Amino acid sequence: MALSGLDIFKLLPKTNCKKCGRPTCLAFTMQLAQKKANIEECPDVSEEAKAALAGAAAPPIRKVTLGGDGRAFTVGEETVLFRHESKFFNPAGVAVTVDDTLDAAGLTARVERINKLSFVRVGVTIQVDMVAVRNVSGKAEPFAAAAKAVAGATKLAMMLVSDSPENMKAAVAACASRAPLIHAATPANFAAMAAIAKEKKCPLVAKAPDLEALAALAPQIKSAGIEDVLLDLTMGDIRSTVEALTTVRRAALKKNFRPLGYPAVVFAMRDDPFEEVAFASTVMAKYAGVIIMSCTEPWQILPVLTVRQNIYTDPQKPIQVEPKLYAIRDPGKDAPLMFTTNFSLTYYSVEGEVEASRVPSWILAVDTEGTSVLTAYSGDKLNEKVVAKAMQAAKVEEKVKHKKLIIPGHVAVLSGKLEEETGWEVLVGPKEASMLPTYLKTIWPQHAPKN
């Protein structure tokens, strides 16, 4: 039975400690009652209270962990339609296909390419999560052989794609420790597929011609003993797919409609690689849990992973770097010193350009609560006093023998006050980070201390 707001409030610690990111326990209660928060966000809640709250606070979209003893990831358990209402919690997984018609060398080469689809962006590693082995041959033996070979060649999570229970049984047996995601249980084969999933403790994708049939099928799979269900919401074109994803998300969140309260799987493969990237990026934003692609080129995968990184960032907490003095390329006491803000995108833009210039330098990341230069300046989070304090905290006087500070061109207006506040000479740097290499190689040498 659902608990009232008052019931929920009584179970919380009522210390108003703010550790959950809300100002009071009452505010947290309201969000729990509206299913916009997760009870795990309160670190001090008792186990008894958690158990009592489980029904009321359980997210309307089931959380499912994929990956077995490989590299696992979690999808689902989302609580909002729009990220600005709270945030999206569990980033969608990106899977890349491997067909069982490939010969051994071709399969190994493709999996190696997939393993390398890993990038560092704004200081964070973003990478592909899963390999989807497709039973294109239609036969059990090559499907099982491909599943076994993939399991041996990657630690990524695995998915097996076949409508044949017989072929699926053979392939699952070949990689059972990976608890592969089984695709798919249909109205025609769900009993057999559910039996395989139950025996090997694998998650199972439900697939039906339309949402009505899917809403009938998912409870049947659950009744067969499978809790970890996902829904295939690929509906042909991009518009129909987004409509289905939105309808299901709304039904789960707004109506608490349990038959469709599961993460979604979408096949984004297209003949045109650009269209595939656009399709995958669109369903990443709304509201896929696992996206299957056929591309293995970095230029195709990186945009999708970038969308994911942006969509799943907490909109209330910008990605930040630690505010401190960073040494680039082992700078000495003659090296230039510049400051920027601790907003990750800003900091890494500056760092990347300084690295590219090959000029050893010091970069002071000033704490502006993760906001960019102009945003921080207009919100008075970046002024002469804040910069002076950051310089003192970082002991910059001990790091360089000159007293020259390069400031972002966008805040040239700070020059006078900053010179008064610090006693340092202020040099106005470029407005855009992309101009830093030229600045460091041509302008800075005119100001650098002479030995």
The residues that touch ligand SF4, with contacts defined as CB under 6 A, are 12-13, 15-20, 22, 25, 28, 42, 44
Cβ at position 48, least distance to ligand SF4 in Å = 15
Distance, in Å, from the CA atom of 382 to the CA atom of 223, rounded to the nearest integer, reads 58
Which of residues 56 and 157 has its CB atom nearest to ligand SF4 in the complex? 56
Distance, in Å, from the CA atom of 340 to the CA atom of 407, rounded to the nearest integer, reads 7
Which of residues 19 and 447 has its CB atom nearest to ligand SF4 in the complex? 19
For residue 194, what are the contacts with CB-CB under 8 A and spacing of at least 6?
185, 204, 221, 224, 225, 226
Cβ at position 265, least distance to ligand SF4 in Å = 34
Which of residues 11 and 305 has its CB atom nearest to ligand SF4 in the complex? 11
Distance, in Å, from the CA atom of 407 to the CA atom of 387, rounded to the nearest integer, reads 10
Cβ at position 74, least distance to ligand SF4 in Å = 22
Which of residues 15 and 177 has its CB atom nearest to ligand SF4 in the complex? 15
- Both tokens assigned to 340: 């920027």
Q: Give the strand pairing for 118-121 and 124-127.
A: antiparallel
Which of residues 29 and 135 has its CB atom nearest to ligand SF4 in the complex? 29
Cβ at position 41, least distance to ligand SF4 in Å = 7
Exposure pattern of 395-422 as b/e (b: 16+ CB <10 Å)? ebeebbeeebbbbbebbeebbeebeebb
Q: Give the strand pairing for 157-161 and 130-134.
A: parallel
Which of residues 18 and 401 has its CB atom nearest to ligand SF4 in the complex? 18
Cβ at position 28, least distance to ligand SF4 in Å = 4
Cβ at position 78, least distance to ligand SF4 in Å = 20
Which of residues 31 and 97 has its CB atom nearest to ligand SF4 in the complex? 31
- Both tokens assigned to 358: 């090959």
Give the residue carrying structure tokens 């209660």. 29
Which stretch of DSSP H or E encloses residue 112?
A: helix 104-115
Given a contact cutoff of 8 angstroms between Cβ atoms, the answer to whether 339 and 324 are in contact is: no
Cβ at position 16, least distance to ligand SF4 in Å = 5
